Amino acid sequence: TMLLSNEKSVSRKIKEAFIAFKVEEKLSKQEILERYLNQIYFGHGYYGVKSAALGYFHKNLNQLTLKEAAILTGLPKAPSSYDPTKNYDGAMQRSNAIINRMHYLGWIDDDKHQKALNERPKVYADGVTFNKAPYAVETAMRQLSETFPDIRNGGYKIDLTIDADLQEAADKALNNQYGEVMNTYKDAKSIATFNGALISTEQDTGDILAMSGGVNYAKSPFNRITQAKRQAGSSFKPFIYLVGINSGFTPDSMLSDTPRVYKFGGKEWAPQNYEHKYDGNITMREALVHSKNLATIDLVEKMGLSNVHSALEKFGFKGLQNDLSIALGSYTVSPYEFSELYSIISNGGIKVSHRLVKSVRNRTGQTFMYESKREEMADPNRVYMLVDVMKDVVKRGTGTKAQVEGIETAGKTGTTNDYRDAWFCGFTPTIQTIVWFGNDNNSPLPGKMTGGMVAAPVFAEYTRALLRFRPEVKRAFEEPSIPGASTDAYSNISQIVDSNTTSSSSGSAQNQIRPKEPSVLGR
């Protein structure tokens, strides 16, 4: 089948017969069986009998007992059903049936027969396997298949960055919240396609520690981390504020949080704050802590839309809207892409690409190593100003449900128009975690679900597990010890603007294109 497509047709059957004839001409039946066993799936993410022996029993093939060999023999028929790490008794029954058959045929004597029936081998379930991290394993296989087209046929050893304990914690946290929502709104049609996702990474290395692309891989293998594109909502705002800090603003700079109307082509656009609450003049810190839409728009206007657009593109944002909705997170992005971009903030201005695969060893024993890419994007001192504000988001703002006793956390909630998306993008001093919930069909969620309501608690539960499994992690943020760089060295804005000016309560759109969609919510 390696030489054929998946097409079901008469021509394919003819080709199969021809190939089978040629194979039998060149190979003995024992050689054919050997090659078959080196390629087929044995469950738990193991392809090939050698990798299955090493995975399940930590032994080479020539070290296996008769019972262990019988367990492996029984797996190809139904790898999931007879996986000894999930169904030990079922695997014993299946292997005993094989051993009984061998005794009946006279292949083993009475003593070996009885000894094998009584044996209960130790089975290992350690390491990252398909059962423990299906979304991560499938993502890795997709990434690697470009370089190694035959990788799914077995014979490769792949070392992933996934932490099995943290992956389990991520799945549990995500499913707990999912179950709570489904139970609360069990009669609501608006959650028929409800799902969630979580990706957690080491900030400095970019290593992916956990990837949950959904709440149930068996029911939906669609990976919402890598494949879904969703509006970011207010979780996008920190990047606007980072551009502001780069251009001379500080957390104490004043912004105008007042209602105003923008006219464009005879039409009007009147962006609003969440629950229509406005504070007049407000500091930049308070504007982000309480996710004020109008104040954020004011910040963009003060810097100039084109300047902001250019700065964000230099951070790595692609396909940005060229209108004021950019201030409110109308940008669509996958959680994977967003997580890489967020590393600019969580990692002190250094953007780090994510790494899922540490190394690959091919069939000939050649090893290929993989590393993350690092790119300096912002002055760490200026980034720390933003992080300090984002700590307040968790302490007393929209992200209070992300608080975790014993460790400092920072982050930003995000909720899009009509409650279609709920985000929390947060980090500790060393670990970053992005959580998303929404309907796969992009329909509104019931109950006014905000990022602070449903996503932030998942971050908190996962982070508490992180402390249990990695008690040595750094617990507090530290101000950078290196001197601040000059404005010109890192600023993406061509001109520093007066941070104390205020915009008018009503203005024309000028060169700013009116958003096609209503503004996103400020939560």
* Domain ranges for the chain: 26-122, 164-508
CB atoms within 10 A of CB 295: 28
The architecture (CATH level 2) of 26-122 comes to Orthogonal Bundle (1.10)
Pairing of strands 261-264, 506-508: parallel
Cβ atoms of 138 and 158 within 8 Å: the answer is no
CA distance 443 to 189: 10
Given this model, what pLDDT does residue 127 score?
61
194: enclosing H helix or E strand: strand 194-202
Given this model, what pLDDT does residue 505 score?
37
Give the residue from 44, 117, 55 showing the smallest Cα distance to 81: 44
Tell me: pLDDT of 13 over 50.
yes
Given this model, what pLDDT does residue 490 score?
41
Given this model, what pLDDT does residue 90 score?
94
Tell me: pLDDT of 308 over 90.
yes
In sequence order, what are the beta bridge partners of 283?
A: 254
Which has more confidence, 46 or 181?
181
What are the φ/ψ torsions at residue 119 (nearest 5 degrees)?
Answer: -70, 140
SS (H, E, C) 119-161: CCCCCCCCCCCCCCCHHHHHHHHHHHHCCCCCHHHCCCEEEEC
470: enclosing H helix or E strand: none
Which has more confidence, 453 or 490?
453
Per residue in 255-296, pLDDT (tens digit) is 999 999 998 788 899 999 998 999 999 999 999 999 999 999
Per residue in 185-215, pLDDT (tens digit) is 988 888 889 999 999 999 999 999 999 999 9
- Name the token pair of 392: 């307040």
The architecture (CATH level 2) of 164-508 comes to 3-Layer(aba) Sandwich (3.40)
Tell me: pLDDT of 93 over 80.
yes
Give the residue from 512, 516, 518, 500 showing the smallest Cα distance to 307: 512
Given this model, what pLDDT does residue 81 score?
86
Among the ranges given (150-154, 261-265, 424-428), the one the predictor scored with the smallest mean pLDDT: 150-154
Tell me: pLDDT of 409 over 50.
yes
Torsion of CA 360, 361, 362, 368, to 10 degrees: 60
Q: Report the chain's C-alpha Rg in angstroms.
A: 28
Tell me: pLDDT of 452 over 60.
yes
Given this model, what pLDDT does residue 416 score?
96
What's the whole-model pTM score? 0.76
Confidence class for position 46, pLDDT limits 50, 70, 90: confident
Report helix, strand or coil for 375: strand
Given this model, what pLDDT does residue 357 score?
98
Confidence class for position 161, pLDDT limits 50, 70, 90: very high
Residue 440 CA: distances (Å) to CA of 190, 292, 331, 336, 433 = 11, 28, 17, 16, 21
Report helix, strand or coil for 415: strand
Classify 154 in phi/psi space as left (phi over 0), alpha (psi -120 to 50) or beta: left
Most confident range, picked from 130-134, 150-154, 434-438, 481-485: 434-438
CA distance 258 to 62: 76
Average pLDDT (383-412) is 99
Confidence class for position 523, pLDDT limits 50, 70, 90: confident
Quote the percentage of the chain above a pLDDT of 70.
Answer: 88
Mean pLDDT of all residues in the chain? Answer: 89
Give the residue from 159, 288, 246 showing the smallest Cα distance to 487: 246
Q: First CA to last CA across the chain, in angstroms? A: 52
SS (H, E, C) 256-278: EECCCEEEECCEEECCCCHHHCC
Give the residue from 433, 341, 350 showing the smallest Cα distance to 384: 350
Average pLDDT (340-362) is 97
387: enclosing H helix or E strand: helix 380-396
Give percent helix, percent strand, percent coil of the chain, each to the nearest 5: 40, 15, 40
Given this model, what pLDDT does residue 259 score?
96
Tell me: pLDDT of 143 over 90.
yes
Confidence class for position 113, pLDDT limits 50, 70, 90: very high
Cβ atoms of 79 and 41 within 8 Å: the answer is yes
Among the ranges given (105-109, 402-406, 499-503), the one the predictor scored with the smallest mean pLDDT: 499-503
Given this model, what pLDDT does residue 239 score?
99
Given this model, what pLDDT does residue 28 score?
85
Query: In the block, which residue shows the tokens 């030489």?
Result: 3
Domains 26-122 and 164-508 equal at CATH topology level? no
Average pLDDT (400-409) is 99
Among the ranges given (158-167, 335-344, 437-446, 491-500), the one the predictor scored with the smallest mean pLDDT: 491-500
Confidence class for position 396, pLDDT limits 50, 70, 90: very high
Give the residue from 325, 240, 272, 232 showing the smallest Cα distance to 513: 325
Confidence class for position 483, pLDDT limits 50, 70, 90: low
Report helix, strand or coil for 466: helix
Average pLDDT (122-130) is 74
